[in-house]
Amino acid sequence: MKFDIDTLGIIRSPYKEKFAIPRQPGLVKSARARLELRPPYDQPDVLRGIEQFSHLWLSFVFHQTMAQGWHPTVRPPRLGGNERVGVFATRSTFRPNPLGLSVVELHGVGRERGKLWLDLGAVDLLDGTPVVDIKPYIPYADSLPHARGGFAPEAPTPPLAVSFTPEAEQQLMPWLKAHPELRQLVSEVLAQDPRPAYKKGKPDDKEYGVRLFDLNVRFRISEPDCLVSAIEPA
């Protein structure tokens, strides 16, 4: 069987590239996003009652990687990027059907000038991600505290302490009006150490850049420290 599945809405998030997006929702709490509903789903009736729930499940399409297809086995970063396991034993983006599933915070519903959206938090979603289903998170059924977590038994502890140079602090200031959570977002994102696994545990003199909102955030890592050196328009 083949199915036609429609895009219900599009994610607007600060993550403009895959690099540095957390591997699961909930790891970067300050990552706020908006899910803008598309016609014919942009009618308030479809959301009636949703604000009673604190969290939602989103099913979405890994639109940026889907053209690369899939493999029967993958190397999860959680296993250091060397060991192979079956694709269905992972949350890899490279799956036969490129569908993702994330539980996110629901902060509210917005409606203005004919547009309808959901305000979300703690997302792991790229800007522009197409969402194909929205469901409330139901704690009694969805929370299983005694479940076995395989090779990912618990949330990783952020390995880095993030600080800003005085120049970066200055450059940050004007953006706080539009994005009050920006400082926290940069800190939480970089604290996870977004570098590829092979770069970790060795001296690293490279300067990295990550795009958050319309900004290029530049940083260097000398474990366990991460120093933000510049925050500039992208």
Does residue 125 bind ligand SAM (CB under 6 A)?
Answer: yes
Does residue 115 bind ligand SAM (CB under 6 A)?
Answer: no
Q: Which of 7, 24, 184, 216 binds ligand SAM (CB under 6 A)?
A: 24
DSSP assignments along 5-44, one per residue:
----EEEE-SB-SSTT--SSTTSSTT--EEEEE-TTS-SG
Does residue 18 bind ligand SAM (CB under 6 A)?
Answer: yes
Does residue 25 bind ligand SAM (CB under 6 A)?
Answer: yes
Q: Which of 8, 10, 21, 118 binds ligand SAM (CB under 6 A)?
A: 21
Q: Please count the residues of the chain.
A: 234
Residue 149 vs 166, nearer CB to ligand SAM:
149
Region from 123-131, 151-159, 162-170, 215-223 binding ligand SAM, contact rule CB under 6 A:
123-131
Residue 137 vs 175, nearer CB to ligand SAM:
137
Region from 99-107, 162-170, 179-187, 197-205 binding ligand SAM, contact rule CB under 6 A:
99-107
Half-sphere exposure of residue 19: CA atoms within 13 angstroms, side-chain side: 10
Residue 34 vs 63, nearer CB to ligand SAM:
63
To ligand SAM, the closest distance from the beta carbon of 177 in angstroms equals 27
How far lies 58's CA from each of 24, 89, 175, 199, 226, in Å?
12, 20, 29, 32, 32
Q: Which residue, 34, 56, 53, is CA-closest to 111?
A: 34
Parallel/antiparallel/unpaired status of strands 130-136 and 9-12: antiparallel
Does residue 199 bind ligand SAM (CB under 6 A)?
Answer: no
CA distance 21 to 100: 14
Is the distance from CB of 71 to CB of 94 less than 8 angstroms?
A: yes
CA distance 234 to 160: 24
Residue 124 vs 188, nearer CB to ligand SAM:
124
Chain residues 64-93 in contact with ligand SAM, contact rule CB under 6 A: 64-65, 91, 93
Does residue 33 bind ligand SAM (CB under 6 A)?
Answer: no
DSSP 157: P
- Binding positions for ligand SAM, rule: CB under 6 A: 18, 21, 23-25, 62-65, 91, 93, 100-102, 124-126, 129
